[in-house]
């Protein structure tokens, strides 16, 4: 059973990475360790099997296994959102029902992708999944799967159970507009980590993204700073975060996040093919680059850099 309601969803929510072992199998032990680490850092929730979690590289059964392990490990300490997106409605409904039974608190989904589905087909997709459980649905707006425009989000918001949007787009004035037109309790999560400060300033309730796995402390500071109107501090922390993000996103940042967690003593395993992992020698080069970034931008409060 879900323990939290949609009004409990806010703050810094890592789009949880999924650790695989060197043979590409889901690694339950590493998954539990990563979850424990993130909870100890004070994250406000977790978002499972999304693009950062390599959900599209897993079978539905594997995705279910991840959900079961995380629900068990978290044991109701923070709200959990399960991403159930797939190209086929039937697969998503099956994942949604399983997630509800297992005890997650909310669902999320990208629109069906690859084919250019009509607006009505995308609406029906969200409607069918949302009606299949009693859980709140957070629509996921992301360019990789085909952005849904403001009018579409507005239309989806009329579906009973659609409670918000994970907004990985950069036109942040739309966040303000959504709050104005769809009501303040329509949840908006800013999805571009490099624009967390901007998203929150424009009224987002929280952040869901990849780099909150690696440096949640920076983004918790940004979240708190915006709440207390300390724009200077928020800007400082965003600059620090962006120096790291800009470096990491030039390569496979999912592998870099996993490797960097491992350097800190939280073994986060490997990515699944075709995402590359990096050899020990390549990781040594990365460490040198990170040390240089630390020096250049005076990044004194970033845990993984301090562990280098």
Contact between 210 and ligand MN9 (CB under 6 A)? yes
Strands 80-83 and 106-109: parallel
Pick from 290, 221, 207, 218: nearest CA to 253: 290
For ligand MN9, the binding residue among 135, 245, 256, 305 (CB under 6 A) is: 245
Q: How far is the CB of 80 from ligand MN9 (least distance, A)?
A: 17
- The answer to whether residue 154 is catalytic is no
User: Could you give the CA distance from residue 94 to residue 137 in angstroms, rounded to a whole number?
Assistant: 15
Contact between 141 and ligand MN9 (CB under 6 A)? no
User: Could you give the CA distance from residue 32 to residue 141 in angstroms, rounded to a whole number?
Assistant: 28
3-state secondary structure of 217: helix
Taking CB under 6 A as the binding criterion, the range among 129-137, 147-155, 192-200, 290-298 that sits at the site for ligand MN9 is 192-200
CB 182 within 8 A of CB 166: no
3-state secondary structure of 23: coil
Contact between 11 and ligand MN9 (CB under 6 A)? no
Q: Report the b/e string of 93-111 with b at 16+ CB within 10 A.
A: bbbbebbbebbbbbbbbbb
Q: How far is the CB of 274 from ligand MN9 (least distance, A)?
A: 16
97 or 146: CB nearest ligand MN9:
146
User: Could you give the CA distance from residue 143 to residue 58 in angstroms, rounded to a whole number?
Assistant: 21
Count of CB atoms situated within 10 Å of the CB of 15: 29
Contact between 57 and ligand MN9 (CB under 6 A)? no
| DSSP element (H, E) containing 156 | helix 150-156
15 or 271: CB nearest ligand MN9:
15
Contact between 82 and ligand MN9 (CB under 6 A)? no
Q: How far is the CB of 208 from ligand MN9 (least distance, A)?
A: 6
- The answer to whether residue 223 is catalytic is no
- Residues 92-131 binding ligand MN9 (CB under 6 A) are none
Contact between 200 and ligand MN9 (CB under 6 A)? no
Q: Which residues are catalytic?
A: 140, 166
Binding interface with ligand MN9 (CB under 6 A): 15, 51-52, 142, 144, 168, 191-194, 209-210, 245, 249
């Amino acid at each position: 059973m879900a323990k939290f309601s949609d009004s409990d969803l806010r703050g810094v929510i890592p789009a949880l990475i999924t650790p695989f072992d060197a043979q590409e199998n889901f690694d339950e032990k590493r998954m539990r360790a990563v979850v424990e680490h993130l909870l100890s850092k004070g994250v406000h929730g977790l978002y499972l099997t999304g693009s950062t979690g390599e959900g599209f590289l897993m079978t539905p059964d594997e995705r279910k296994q991840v959900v079961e392990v995380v629900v068990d490990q978290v044991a109701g300490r923070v709200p959990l959102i399960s991403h159930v997106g797939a190209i086929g409605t039937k697969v998503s409904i099956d994942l949604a029902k399983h997630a509800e039974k297992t005890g997650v608190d909310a669902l999320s989904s990208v629109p069906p992708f690859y084919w250019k589905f009509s607006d009505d087909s995308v609406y029906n997709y969200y409607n069918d999944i949302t009606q299949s459980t009693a859980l709140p649905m957070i629509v996921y707006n992301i360019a990789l799967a085909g952005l849904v425009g403001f009018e579409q989000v507005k239309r989806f918001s009329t579906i009973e159970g659609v409670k918000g949007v994970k907004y990985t787009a950069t036109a942040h004035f739309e966040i303000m507009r959504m709050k104005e037109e769809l009501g303040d309790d329509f949840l908006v999560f800013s999805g571009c980590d490099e624009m967390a400060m901007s998203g929150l300033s424009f009224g987002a309730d929280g952040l869901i993204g990849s780099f909150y796995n690696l440096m949640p402390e920076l983004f918790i500071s940004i979240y708190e700073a915006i709440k207390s109107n300390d724009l200077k501090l928020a800007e400082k922390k965003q600059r620090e975060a962006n120096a790291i993000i800009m470096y990491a996103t030039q390569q496979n940042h999912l592998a870099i996040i996993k490797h960097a967690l491992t350097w800190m003593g939280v073994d986060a395993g490997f990515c699944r093919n075709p995402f590359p992992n990096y050899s020990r020698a390549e990781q040594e080069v990365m460490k040198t680059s990170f040390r240089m970034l630390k020096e250049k931008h005076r990044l004194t409060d970033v845990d993984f850099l301090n562990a280098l």
